[in-house]
Amino acid sequence: MGDSITQDYASSPLDNDASSGKGNGYNSLEIASIASASAIVSVLIALVILFLYTRKLHPRSKIMSTTTKREVTMFIDIGVSITFDNVVTATRNFNASNLIGNGGFGATYKAVIISQEDQNVVVAIKRLSIGRFQGVQQFHAEIKTLGRLKHQNLVTLIGYHASETEMFLVYNYLPGGNLERFIRERSTRAVEWRVLHKIALDVARALAYLHDQCVPRVLHRDVKPSNILLDDDHNAYLSDFGLARLLGASETHATTGVAGTFGYVAPEYAMTCRVSDKADVYSYGVVLLELLSDKKVLDPSFVRYGNGFNIVQWGDMLLRQGRAKEFFTAGLWDVGPHDDLVEVLHLAVICTLDSLSTRPTMKQVVQRLKQLQPQLQTRVV
């Protein structure tokens, strides 16, 4: 009986439609077909509308993308608006006539930015070598960390621009040039021990800050005279800090000009590519030796001592032989306290020892230099 009821229930609609013979109704199959066709048409119309809408917006999106790419991110307010366009204008499209420095990370240009109130602000633009740095997104993240670093002896990072086709950093401009030029031109002026000591202490303080007070700590990896800038009062400022960590993963740190410059690179770093704060200490020691003497790190006069002889070996040799007087730049021995000069030479040599455990920390270097602080009036000996 149950089967009969089921059969009647299942067949009754079809029987009714078939027996009615009426043409003014639709069976379920026809209704389903119409519904499916309507849905397909609706989807097609929606896709066409979406396509046309997207195509219409595409030019606008391209403009917005270009604007974003040309954006300059600022860390501090210097009283004028710095944009991609006025940087290009102020450097004359990075013209050689505005060039004030050239290093392993890129070239630096002087740029005079003019505000709407006709007030001029001078900044330094470091144009980074495209292709040597990691991806743009990673660069954005890392450079913002560097923008938070503040110290009286660090060059101020004002802002930056980073895109696939252009990268540059905006720094405060320092009119005194770099230490490399200072050393090269100092024969034209009187030697002052007070000035040399101040430069040495300023740089040591900057490195001690990077090593001991930054979290995570920052290793410079390219400490050399051209990366130390001066103002008109011979205050020293360390530049290019933190840039070595932004290099692309494909770069090898053993090569010169990548993360370190031949002659200033610690021997263990050059051989193993393993960097530590003691590698910066070594580089600082080499800079200090150059600051005290008339010699370059790989001076031509060292040829007589054999291949590979450098300023580190020369300073150590003279100190051991009791001939320290011969090391110092012309006139310095006559105006500086002899004991203090020898002590600073000894400090520089210790900084460049092969043994990492024997090299001092930069904090210890600062403490020692402060103990050797010259008197305001330098006495002629």
Which residues fall in the annotated binding site?
126, 227, 240
From residue 254, alpha-carbon distances to 104, 257, 258, 268 in Å are: 13, 9, 8, 10
Which of 222, 277, 280, 316 is flagged as catalytic?
222
Cβ pair 207, 238 in contact under 8 A: yes
Distance between start and end Cα atoms, the chain: 131
Clarify whether 3 is annotated catalytic. Answer: no
Tally of CB atoms within 10 A around 215 = 6
Cβ pair 327, 345 in contact under 8 A: yes
Bond into 216 cis (ω within 30)? yes
Question: Would you list which residues are annotated within the binding site for Mg(2+)?
Answer: 227, 240
CA distance 48 to 64: 24
Buried residues in 180-205 as b, exposed as e (16+ CB within 10 A) = bebbeebeeeebbbbbbbbbbbbbbb
Of 219, 168, 160, the residue nearest 361 (C-alpha)? 219
Question: Would you list which residues are annotated within the binding site for ATP?
Answer: 126
Task: List active site positions.
Answer: 222
